[in-house]
Structure 1
Amino acid sequence: MTSNSEQAGMTDAGKRDWRAALKIYGQPRVIGMAFLGFSSGLPFLLVFSTLSAWLAQEGVSKTTIGFFSWIGMMYSIKFFWAPVVDRLPLPILGRLLGRRRAWMLLAQCGLMTGLVFMALTDPTTDLARIAWFGLLVAFSSATQDVAIDAWRIEAVADSVQGAMAATYQAGYRIALLTAGAGAFFIAAGTSWPTTYLVMAALVGVGMVTVLCVAEPDASRTAGTRVQEPWVDEHLARYDFSPAWLHGAYGWVLAAVVCPLVDFFSRYGKQALLILLFVSLFRVTDITLGVMANPFYLDMHYTLAEIASVSKIFGVLMTLGGAALGGVLIVRYGILRPLLASAILAAATNLAFAWLATRQDPGMASLAITVSADNLSGGMAGSAFIAYLSSLTNTAYTATQYALFSSLMTLPGKFLGGFSGWMVDHYGYVWFFGYTAVAGVPAILLVIWLIRFHARMTTAEDEAEPDGQRHASS
């Protein structure tokens, strides 16, 4: 287990052989991670903002569209079934492909099925059917994310995890571009049902990748068992009958309880504030995102214009922001860029309020707004993912990361469900102002985190006889 200061992301990346680092990107599993990232990112917008645009064009009310965003809450509760994906092998596929790849392929089958049936459903006559198949897509996508995260962690050594994360993000962003701008262009030239059929076919990219990459070594190591002696001691106190109940109880303790016990034992009572920060950091951008496409359409931008600026240009700006965030993390550590991005994420939402006040906004105004929003969003993404990764214990990475990634979207998804109601009753200017104010708690919690980790680092440095210090964050 790493020290708390290392877990806080305080790593020394100042001296590194850049040529050797670049060669890492030629490794087969690192390349494969990009395609798995594409498979992970493809479904997200199809049950979020792209679906909102489809429903808006079909005349569905903004209040209903807002409620549809609750489909995305599947991503926020995936922690509940993550331990099953993490440890339970599938009966037939598991023997053929291995535990991780079997779960990925099963989830991708669910994705393809859900997207096909969404395409075959008319939202003007059967919204409930669209909602149910949207839930299937979201559930399958969240399950795939858990399996991919586990595969990424186990497939390579720790020294290659940075490259794996980088190629994953690249593939994920390309998928967002495909499911965003690509979907808009296809819909503009054909129809939304055809668009969703095309997206269903693109799920095949992930399926082929799963069949091509190798299954990693089993994640259940002896080192993990050493950290769970209390499980055996606890089980020894009770006489279960039948025997399978004893095994099931032990499995639940090890798979579900141990990751939580580990996290709270490392951070103590401060763990609750850390989890509160994780849950609030993305409230401001998730809440805004629900109404972004309906807003563009209400401002009389065409689908092609939205695709060009908001999707293609926006993704490029996000990649630029992510790269900037990575550079700032190397230079200043994680927490200070995290604070800067929290402030920018809230402040840039006011650019949307400014755009909403313009009588003839034009493409330049849209480009300015999208640039500010996506640049800050990309920077925030790099800092936040780095911080979440620093919180995990390598013995429970998949389950703990599922907990963090679930929490980071849950409040935003819930509040986003009321976004259409707020626009209908108060208008876009007040709505965007509200989303900016919603980012203030995260800013205050980052300030607390900076002070908290500074105290942790000081305590560890005083305890080290050789005075060795980790790089400051």
Structure 2
Amino acid sequence: MTPVDTNNKGGWKTTARELSNPKVLSMLFLGFSAGIPLLLIFSSLSLWLREAGVERQAVTFFSWAALGYSFKFVWAPLIDKLPLPVLTRRFGRRRAWLLVSQLAIIAAIVGMALVDPATGTGHVTRMAIAAVLLGFSAATQDIVIDAYRIESAAPRLQGLMSSTYIAGYRIGMVVAGAGALYLAALFGSEAGDYSFPAWQLTYLVMASTMLIGVLTTLLISEPETRRPDAHVYGASDYLRLVGVFLVAAAAFAGGFFISGGAFAGLKAWAGGGPIAGFLLETLHFAVAVSAAVAVGWLLVAAGAVNAAMAHETWIEPALDFFRRYGLKTALLLLALIGLYRISDIVLGVISNVFYQDIGFSKPQIATAVKTFGVIVSILGGLLGGLMATRYGVMRILMLGAILSAATNLIFVVLALAGPDLTWLYIAVAADNLAAGLASAAFVAFLSSLTSVSFTAVQYAIFSSLMTLLPKVLGGYSGSIVDGIGYPGFFVFTTLIGVPVVLLVWLAGRSLAIDDRAKEAAAAA
């Protein structure tokens, strides 16, 4: 089944009835649970740090705490393979990991609430550690929810599952975005009048909202196993697999920090510009990843872990994707996945800082961006799901790519107009409608590319690749704005979305050719 034909072709009445399916409804609450952590790392945390006096460049660098979302494919195979003592027997493979990840998210948010970033560099570092833990835990929850969504319902329901998940996700973002800003203001923190207790209480309230996800996990049923494991491994094999992963992860961290001084020197030599910084930081990540891969390979070669198990866990899911699509089409699809969201993610990293910099108050931002905007994005997501059902995923992917890039130009007008509420609402409405529509089609597209034999791993690879480059580039958004100003930055985010339109066209053409070739071979 290709991305062109994955959706339910039933009538509107059938679609409406299926919206009440318990499996579809469960995705609303799990989506809410997934939507809570992200803004507590991005925009809400950005405003907290700015009010606490942290420099703008350091604030945007905090977006890298969410890079766990982009590297989750590394430990997704462990979640597919590893049982959790007691919990897996009690709840099942997916629900056990869901429960653990949700409790870890709560612990990380509480940890952030206990740190005042205004009291010195050491406290900012502690905040960064807690934010990284939140990003890691939230990414783990996403891995399990994505696998649960694909495994728990038939393909005809996947479009609706994606739409309700996105709706819940956006509602969670309203709570973590607008809700957090309203609470912080209500509890007494404002720009120029910072209050740590206000933000502390706000984040503790946000931690409590995750109990909705915990309750959902306890109530839903475990999806039926689609495939038995090819081999049954012992506890020692699982422990050794985890050990190899931890050593490889340590090699990544060590390689990243050890080489940090050298790359800092290269950045200074290159003049410290945002483009050179981005390219060098990308190379910096590549060096660290290479170190992790090399260490992992050496450990497997040395017999530290069952070689067949390691191959099934990390290699076979990637090989399966290339076998199904062929090298040329697979690389084209990976390029599309990696770049599709680049325009809106790069803009989104600094959007809240932009609104505050041009003169909007926190309540105005909360109302327009975190309430009105998210409602529009929910409507856009539902519209995208219905249009993908009616017209096909690839057509709506193309529409989403065009709109996501083009609507960024409205922010140029807003930057020139200043704190004009009319233009704020126009910009927010256009941006969120485009993002919601594109996201619904994109989730359905990614789900259709996933083999049920490697559900968690392959979807984690796709969704990780989707955010990796945009988030690395987004970390430099503050530096880019300092260099070319907000109008130039928004034009830049539009231009980097133009190649995506070409990639969607090429991918649709390639998939159609592959389908015709398969049909011809079957007929012969």
TM-score after normalising by structure 1: 0.88
1:342 to 388, 395, 401: 401
Q: What is the one-letter code of the residue matched to 2:129?
A: W
Query: What's the counterpart of residue 170 of structure 2?
Result: 173
2:150 to 125, 147, 153: 153
* Paired residues for 1:315-330 under 5 Å: 315-330=374-389
Matched, 1:288 2:347: yes
Matched, 1:141 2:157: no
Aligned-pair CA distance for 1:167 = 2.4
Query: What's the counterpart of residue 221 of structure 1?
Result: 228
Query: Are 1:7 and 1:392, in contact at CA under 8 Å, matched by a contact in 2?
Result: no
Query: What's the counterpart of residue 29 of structure 1?
Result: 23
Cα distance in structure 2, aligned partners of 1:30 and 1:199: 25
* Paired residues for 1:48-127 under 5 Å: 48-125=42-119, 126-127=123-124
Cα distance in structure 1, aligned partners of 2:494 and 2:53: 28
Query: Are 1:345 and 1:380, in contact at CA under 8 Å, matched by a contact in 2?
Result: yes
Q: What is the one-letter code of the residue matched to 2:355?
A: Y
Q: What is the one-letter code of the residue matched to 1:440?
A: V
Cα distance in structure 2, aligned partners of 1:411 and 1:18: 38
Matched, 1:198 2:205: yes
1:131 to 128, 131, 134: 128
Cα distance in structure 2, aligned partners of 1:445 and 1:82: 27
2:505 to 447, 451, 454: 447
Cα distance in structure 2, aligned partners of 1:96 and 1:13: 34
Instruction: Give the match's secondary structure for 1:124.
Output: helix
Query: Are 1:63 and 1:424, in contact at CA under 8 Å, matched by a contact in 2?
Result: no
* Paired residues for 1:367-406 under 5 Å: 367-406=425-464
Query: Are 2:409 and 2:490, in contact at CA under 8 Å, matched by a contact in 1?
Result: yes
Query: What's the counterpart of residue 3 of structure 1?
Result: none
Aligned-pair CA distance for 1:255 = 2.2
Evaluate the alpha carbon distance shift between residue 169 and residue 157 of structure 1 in structure 2; reply closer, same or farther with a 3 A threshold: same
Query: What's the counterpart of residue 4 of structure 2?
Result: 9
Evaluate the alpha carbon distance shift between residue 380 and residue 166 of structure 1 in structure 2; reply closer, same or farther with a 3 A threshold: closer
Query: Are 2:412 and 2:491, in contact at CA under 8 Å, matched by a contact in 1?
Result: yes
Query: What's the counterpart of residue 358 of structure 1?
Result: 417
Q: What is the one-letter code of the residue matched to 2:2?
A: Q
Matched, 1:416 2:474: yes
Q: What is the one-letter code of the residue matched to 2:182?
A: F
Cα distance in structure 1, aligned partners of 2:164 and 2:400: 22
| Unaligned runs of at least 5 residues, structure 1 | 1-5, 226-241, 467-473
Q: Which moved more, 1:94-103 or 1:309-318?
A: 94-103
Query: Are 1:83 and 1:256, in contact at CA under 8 Å, matched by a contact in 2?
Result: yes
Aligned-pair CA distance for 1:17 = 5.2
Query: What's the counterpart of residue 306 of structure 1?
Result: 365
| Unaligned runs of at least 5 residues, structure 2 | 188-197, 232-299
Q: What is the one-letter code of the residue matched to 2:139?
A: A
Cα distance in structure 2, aligned partners of 1:428 and 1:252: 47
Evaluate the alpha carbon distance shift between residue 94 and residue 454 of structure 1 in structure 2; reply closer, same or farther with a 3 A threshold: closer
1:400-428 Cα distance to aligned partner (Å, 9 max, x none) = 10100000000000001111111223221
Q: What is the one-letter code of the residue matched to 1:288?
A: L
Query: Are 2:7 and 2:155, in contact at CA under 8 Å, matched by a contact in 1?
Result: no
1:361-398 Cα distance to aligned partner (Å, 9 max, x none) = 32111001111111111111122112111211121122
Cα distance in structure 1, aligned partners of 2:503 and 2:374: 28
Evaluate the alpha carbon distance shift between residue 216 and residue 329 of structure 1 in structure 2; reply closer, same or farther with a 3 A threshold: closer
Q: Which moved more, 1:144-153 or 1:301-310?
A: 144-153
Cα distance in structure 1, aligned partners of 2:86 and 2:389: 45
Cα distance in structure 1, aligned partners of 2:7 and 2:13: 18
Q: What is the one-letter code of the residue matched to 1:82?
A: A
Q: What is the one-letter code of the residue matched to 1:308?
A: T
Identity of aligned residues (%): 46
Q: What is the one-letter code of the residue matched to 2:214?
A: M
Aligned-pair CA distance for 1:148 = 1.5
Cα distance in structure 2, aligned partners of 1:390 and 1:12: 9
Q: What is the one-letter code of the residue matched to 1:328?
A: M
Q: Which moved more, 1:58-67 or 1:330-339?
A: 330-339
Query: Are 2:163 and 2:381, in contact at CA under 8 Å, matched by a contact in 1?
Result: no
Evaluate the alpha carbon distance shift between residue 216 and residue 324 of structure 1 in structure 2; reply closer, same or farther with a 3 A threshold: closer
Evaluate the alpha carbon distance shift between residue 353 and residue 146 of structure 1 in structure 2; reply closer, same or farther with a 3 A threshold: same
Instruction: Give the match's secondary structure for 2:456.
Output: helix
Q: What is the one-letter code of the residue matched to 2:44?
A: T
TM-score after normalising by structure 2: 0.80
1:309-366 Cα distance to aligned partner (Å, 9 max, x none) = 111110121122222322332332121221121111111111112111114x321110
Query: Are 2:167 and 2:381, in contact at CA under 8 Å, matched by a contact in 1?
Result: no
Evaluate the alpha carbon distance shift between residue 348 and residue 162 of structure 1 in structure 2; reply closer, same or farther with a 3 A threshold: closer
Query: Are 2:6 and 2:448, in contact at CA under 8 Å, matched by a contact in 1?
Result: no
Q: How many residues align?
A: 441
Cα distance in structure 2, aligned partners of 1:23 and 1:437: 42
1:21-45 Cα distance to aligned partner (Å, 9 max, x none) = 4333334333322211111111111
Cα distance in structure 2, aligned partners of 1:301 and 1:280: 31
Aligned-pair CA distance for 1:116 = 0.7
Query: What's the counterpart of residue 234 of structure 1?
Result: none
1:263 to 321, 325, 330: 321
Aligned-pair CA distance for 1:89 = 0.6
Instruction: Give the match's secondary structure for 1:409.
Output: helix
Query: Are 1:35 and 1:206, in contact at CA under 8 Å, matched by a contact in 2?
Result: yes
Evaluate the alpha carbon distance shift between residue 91 and residue 248 of structure 1 in structure 2; reply closer, same or farther with a 3 A threshold: farther
